[in-house]
Structure 1
Amino acid sequence: MELTVVDVGPDGPALHRDVAPLILALRPALDADGFAAFAAEAHAQGLVFTAAYDDRGRCLAVAAHRVLATSRGRLFFVDDLVTAPAVRSAGVGGRLFAVLRERARAAGCVRIELDSGTANHDAHRFYRAHGMAVTALHFGLDLPGEAAPVR
């Protein structure tokens, strides 16, 4: 299967037509309006959406990523990586991950990092199969009250 991998900008129709459905499938608590607000704010913070299309123009996978300057060096952080259910285990996610590795190298990053939910065992197998190791625990604290408005 031939794949074309492209970055999807914040203003084009592909963001809502192609990227949003896959991200919303991964993040069911997010609705279309929430996705639009998130995408705009995150893009301003350096988030890039990279999509993989087949030769018929179908979006098969999406990665959301950014480069972060940290005290540990430049990190290539993958916020989300999702493949359409119909093509999971067909190599599409692996091919998109390979593109991300090359982009991380080109950006001078010392490592790729991402978070994965503790119960998402399929994702864990995928990441381990692509050379990733569990190197940290991610802690979170929900804050009471309303979330700050997106501007």
Structure 2
Amino acid sequence: MSAVDLTLTDLTPDDPRMSADAEPLIRTLRPELTAEAFTAFAREAYGQGLRFTVAYDTATARPLGAATHRLLATSRGRVLFVDDLVTAPESRGRGVGAYLLAELERRGRAAGCLRVELDSGTTNVQAHRFYHARRMTIGALHFGRNL
């Protein structure tokens, strides 16, 4: 699949495509997220600046990938932070993720960002290969603690 076969659409929490299209894609990354929890998350996170971009197959209108992202002012400068980047399992290796990432980089530049940043789970080796192939580097370790 080439990039010309994709159409990107930004969804809002009230758009019916949020639950029909974005939710199943995001839940492939986060299977523990219930439908109700996704709806609550989408509303709250959207209010905090998170944006939901879905890549649709132009010919079939099928959702093939999604990215959630936000602009952040940090002490390191302005960044476009990618919370989630996912391609439907049956569409992986067809350029969907690369197309989404390139669009996020374009949006980041247009917004005056110095970097695109994201976190990737330590065991997600396929994603790490994808990011390294796009010249992304490991700039930090992300630490957390359950409360």
Give distance in 2, aligned partners of 1:40 and 1:58: 23
TM-score (norm 2): 0.95
Paired residues, number: 143
Query: Which secondary structure state, in structure 2, belongs to the residue aligned with residue 67 of structure 1?
Result: strand
RMSD between superposed Cα atoms in Å: 0.7
Give distance in 1, aligned partners of 2:71 and 2:117: 10
**1:109 Cα shift?**
0.4
Give distance in 1, aligned partners of 2:44 and 2:29: 19
One-letter amino acid of the structure 2 residue matched with residue 113 of structure 1: E
Does residue 32 of the first structure (1) align with residue 35 of the second (2)?
yes
Aligned ranges for residues 1-150 of structure 1 at < 5 Å? Answer: 1=1, 2-54=5-57, 55-143=59-147
Give distance in 1, aligned partners of 2:67 and 2:141: 22
Gaps of at least 5 residues in structure 1 are 144-151
Give distance in 1, aligned partners of 2:104 and 2:79: 12
TM-score (norm 1): 0.93
The one-character-per-residue Cα deviations of 1:38-95 (angstroms, maximum 9, x if unpaired) are 0000000000000100021000000000000111111100000000011101111111
Give distance in 2, aligned partners of 1:92 and 1:46: 24
Q: Report the identity percentage.
A: 59
Give distance in 1, aligned partners of 2:34 and 2:28: 10
Moved over 2 A (4+): none
The one-character-per-residue Cα deviations of 1:96-144 (angstroms, maximum 9, x if unpaired) are 111111001011100011000000000000011111000101000111x
